[in-house]
């Protein structure tokens, strides 16, 4: 297991939001973190990306606590796309994406040909090539989200952590994103993403982790995890589980 | 910048110096010419110190604004100047401490203490939140330090005149020994600043993104703060309190070049250097043959530009 937590408690202002979690994140999968608002899924994700310091326990990367690994080295292994992003003033799209290469660039942040190729490629994959010369602050919310995604992808890490990446996006871009995540997964990346849409998670992810009140309630294959009882106990939702007619994955329909 | 320096070498002198003298003093020094002696022994070190002071203060301003993400951050606003002044006043007025420390070191310690206090009070170590608090803390600490400095000046009247000249920031006393003590620190500080600039770029994306991209934030802030102290302490120790350069020049450079620290830092350094050299030259002109402190001239140039910036809302 490359990424795991040992007895992890983490939160804000001395108040634990994620409580005593032992979790091994399966390698090479698309993993969705699900749960109602305030259940701690974003907090857990941030702790996995060492943006929050554990109050108890630790997050381990290949058996080593995250804080023992040099920051730049870890930045070549894990990349996180936070849920809300600042709007940087006066930065062009291509320059922001290029910042994603910082963990690799040498003296003075200079990029080489490999860096340029990767930047070019991720901009194409996220469909922002034609925005390259524009200022990030002048884009729409959805476009900006794709630019930040491109920066995260430019980090070219085996682990990709995404916090509700589809928010602010049009439906077609949401679908494109999920397909892109699939492709990246096939190239060998492990993807851990917080999602709101249960059906989206069931359709595109291999492994679901369901959280409530800072605890992990259930995890496993979508077809095993998504049950009437779970939806009722975790989301207080009366819903039926049907089979998606196209993808043959479970799909919940609210009663 | 070269043009301003050259002008500064010969203009507004009590003894007539021709433009040619200024050049000859540099390339074909004539032992018998008084004018050339003045150029070599007085004017040249003075211009060099002015250039370096401008460069250092501009770089310090860039670092402070980059670290705090606060467009108002600068040595004068965040209390470093006032703290350094107090440190300087302490060693030059209170007898048991007199001469214990050089003024530069005293200025650095004073500035360092004030800056740490401001950062603690204004929770400046956490970026992005409550920017107003940082500035408020800076203003409060500045006022406190200024009050203490004034009290010292009143108590120890004998030593006061040196402190007052110093507070106004003047290059009148800049000689070769000032330059010799100043340049090594300045060069180290400026080099450090340019090495730090890629990290400053990433800090602008917010702490989360910066950390995610492999920046050790605590480390960068510590090194940055240390560089600020080197740059500001050395400048203040050399010529006294000069404000506005650190606040304004980074904005000028950003307006010209854009937001990439790697690119606008060198421009800010050049602009700062030119501006202080220009201000010093003008300082001799306004009520010739008397001198106005260069600090006052800078405020005169700086204030209108600042108003322009505020109106444009590009902060």
Do the beta carbons of residue B129 and residue B123 sit within 8 Å? Answer: yes
- pLDDT band of residue B242 (cuts 50, 70, 90) is confident
Residues in chain B within 8 Å Cβ distance of A79 = 212
What mean pLDDT value characterizes chain B?
79
Which pLDDT belongs to residue B73?
Answer: 85
3-state DSSP of B47-62: HHHHHHHHHHHHHHHH
Of B195, B201, B212, the CB nearest to A51: B212
Contacts of B270 by beta carbon, 8 Å cutoff, 6+ apart = B1, B55
Which pLDDT belongs to residue A135?
Answer: 92
Q: How many residues make up chain B in this entry? A: 315
Check residues A201 and B123 and name the one with the higher pLDDT.
A201
Full strand arrangement of the beta sheet holding A207-212 = A78-81, A159-163, A190-194, A30-34, A207-212, A215-220
Quick one: average pLDDT of B281-294? 72
Number of Cβ atoms within 10 Å of the Cβ of A65: 14
Quick one: average pLDDT of B251-263? 86
Contacts of B147 by beta carbon, 8 Å cutoff, 6+ apart = none
Within an 8 Å CB–CB cutoff, is residue B218 touching chain A?
no
Within an 8 Å CB–CB cutoff, is residue A67 touching chain B?
no
A95 → chain B, closest CA residue:
B260
User: Is there a contact between A82 and B208 if contact means CB atoms under 8 Å apart?
Assistant: yes
B261 → chain A, closest CA residue:
A108
Which pLDDT belongs to residue A194?
Answer: 95
Instruction: Kindly give the parts of chain A with pLDDT less than 70.
Output: 1, 107
Best mutation target among B70, B129, B201, B209 (most A Cβ atoms within 10 Å) is B209
Q: Which of B112, B65, B124 is closest to B226 using CA atoms?
A: B112
Size of interface A-B (CB pairs under 8 A): 65
Residues in chain A within 8 Å Cβ distance of B129 = none
pLDDT at residue B290 is higher than 90: no
Residues in chain A within 8 Å Cβ distance of B212 = 49, 51, 75, 78-80, 82, 152, 155
Rounded Cα distance, B303 and B164, in Å: 22
pLDDT tens digit string along B83-103?
888 887 887 776 555 555 677
Shortest Cα distance, chain B CAs vs residue A180, angstroms: 21
Do the beta carbons of residue B293 and residue B169 sit within 8 Å? Answer: yes
Do the beta carbons of residue B115 and residue B78 sit within 8 Å? Answer: yes
Which pLDDT belongs to residue A206?
Answer: 93
Task: Give percent above pLDDT 70 in chain B.
Answer: 76
- pLDDT band of residue B181 (cuts 50, 70, 90) is confident
Full strand arrangement of the beta sheet holding A15-25 = A15-25, A3-12, A56-61, A64-65
Which pLDDT belongs to residue B46?
Answer: 84
pLDDT at residue B52 is higher than 70: yes
Residues in chain A within 8 Å Cβ distance of B197 = 108
- pLDDT band of residue B28 (cuts 50, 70, 90) is low
Best mutation target among A52, A75, A102, A160 (most B Cβ atoms within 10 Å) is A102
User: Is there a contact between A109 and B254 if contact means CB atoms under 8 Å apart?
Assistant: no
Shortest Cα distance, chain B CAs vs residue A151, angstroms: 10
Question: Domains plus CATH for chain B?
Answer: 2-312 (1.10.3470.10)
Which pLDDT belongs to residue B122?
Answer: 76
Question: Domains plus CATH for chain A?
Answer: 1-77+159-215 (3.40.50.300), 85-156 (no CATH)
Residue B250, helix vs strand vs coil: helix
pLDDT at residue B315 is higher than 50: no
ipTM: 0.84
Do the beta carbons of residue A160 and residue A187 sit within 8 Å? Answer: no
Q: Where are the beta strands (DSSP E) in A36-189?
A: 56-61, 64-65, 78-81, 159-163
User: Is there a contact between B198 and A108 if contact means CB atoms under 8 Å apart?
Assistant: yes
- pLDDT band of residue B110 (cuts 50, 70, 90) is confident
Task: Name the least confident of B88-97, B100-109, B110-119.
Answer: B88-97
- Pairing verdict, β A78-81 and A159-163: parallel
Rounded Cα distance, A104 and B187, in Å: 28
Interface of B with A in 242-301 (CB under 8 A): 254, 258-260, 262
Within an 8 Å CB–CB cutoff, is residue A7 touching chain B?
no
Which pLDDT belongs to residue A195?
Answer: 92
pLDDT at residue B14 is higher than 70: no
pLDDT at residue B45 is higher than 60: yes
Do the beta carbons of residue B228 and residue B286 sit within 8 Å? Answer: no
Of B128, B212, B262, the CB nearest to A108: B262
């Amino acid at each position: 297991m490359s990424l795991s937590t040992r007895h992890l408690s983490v939160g804000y202002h001395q108040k634990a939001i994620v409580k005593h979690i032992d979790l091994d994140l399966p390698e090479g999968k698309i993993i969705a973190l699900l749960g109602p608002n305030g259940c701690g899924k974003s907090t857990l994700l941030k702790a996995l990306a060492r943006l929050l310091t554990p109050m108890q326990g630790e997050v381990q990367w290949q058996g080593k606590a995250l804080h023992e690994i040099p920051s730049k080295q870890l930045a070549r292994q894990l990349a996180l796309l936070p849920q809300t992003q600042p709007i940087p003033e006066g930065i062009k799209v291509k320059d922001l994406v290029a910042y994603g290469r910082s963990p690799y660039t040498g003296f003075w942040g200079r990029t080489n040909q490999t860096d340029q190729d990767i930047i070019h490629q991720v901009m194409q994959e996220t469909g922002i090539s034609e925005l390259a010369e524009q200022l990030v602050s002048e884009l729409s919310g959805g476009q900006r989200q794709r630019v930040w995604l491109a920066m995260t992808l430019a980090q070219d890490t085996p682990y990709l952590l995404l916090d509700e990446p589809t928010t602010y996006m049009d439906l077609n871009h949401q679908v494109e994103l999920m397909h892109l995540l699939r492709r990246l997964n096939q190239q060998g990346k492990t993807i851990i993403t917080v999602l709101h849409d249960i059906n989206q998670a069931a359709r595109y992810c291999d492994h679901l982790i369901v959280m409530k009140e800072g605890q992990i309630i259930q995890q496993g294959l979508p077809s095993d995890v998504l049950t009437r009882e779970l939806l009722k106990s975790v989301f207080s939702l009366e819903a039926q589980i049907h089979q998606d007619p196209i993808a043959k994955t479970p799909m919940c329909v609210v009663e | 910048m070269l043009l301003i320096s050259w002008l500064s070498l010969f203009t507004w002198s009590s003894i007539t110096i021709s433009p040619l003298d200024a050049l000859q003093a540099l390339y074909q020094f004539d032992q018998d010419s008084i004018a050339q002696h003045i150029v070599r022994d007085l004017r040249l070190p003075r211009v060099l110190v002015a250039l370096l002071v401008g460069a250092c203060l501009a770089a310090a301003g860039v670092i402070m604004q980059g670290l705090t993400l606060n467009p108002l951050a600068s040595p004068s606003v965040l209390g470093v100047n006032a703290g350094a002044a107090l440190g300087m006043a302490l060693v030059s007025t209170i007898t048991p401490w007199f001469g214990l420390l050089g003024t530069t070191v005293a200025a650095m310690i004073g500035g360092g203490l004030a800056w740490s206090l401001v950062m603690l009070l204004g929770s400046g170590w956490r970026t992005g939140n409550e920017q107003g608090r940082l500035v408020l803390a800076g203003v409060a600490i500045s006022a406190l330090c200024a009050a203490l400095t004034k009290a010292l000046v009143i108590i120890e009247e004998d030593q006061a005149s040196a402190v007052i000249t110093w507070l106004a920031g003047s290059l009148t006393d800049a000689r070769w020994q000032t330059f010799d003590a100043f340049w090594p620190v300045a060069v180290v500080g400026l080099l450090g600043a340019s090495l730090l600039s890629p990290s400053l770029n990433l800090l602008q994306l917010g702490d989360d993104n910066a950390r995610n991209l492999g920046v050790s934030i605590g480390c960068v802030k510590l090194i940055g703060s240390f560089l600020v102290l080197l740059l500001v302490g050395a400048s203040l120790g050399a010529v006294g309190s000069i404000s506005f350069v650190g606040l304004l020049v980074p904005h000028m450079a950003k307006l010209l070049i854009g937001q990439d620290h790697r690119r606008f830092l060198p421009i800010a350094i050049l602009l700062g250097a030119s501006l202080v050299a220009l201000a010093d030259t003008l300082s001799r002109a306004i009520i010739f043959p008397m001198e106005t402190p260069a600090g006052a001239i800078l405020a005169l140039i700086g204030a209108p530009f600042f108003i322009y910036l505020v109106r444009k809302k590009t902060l």
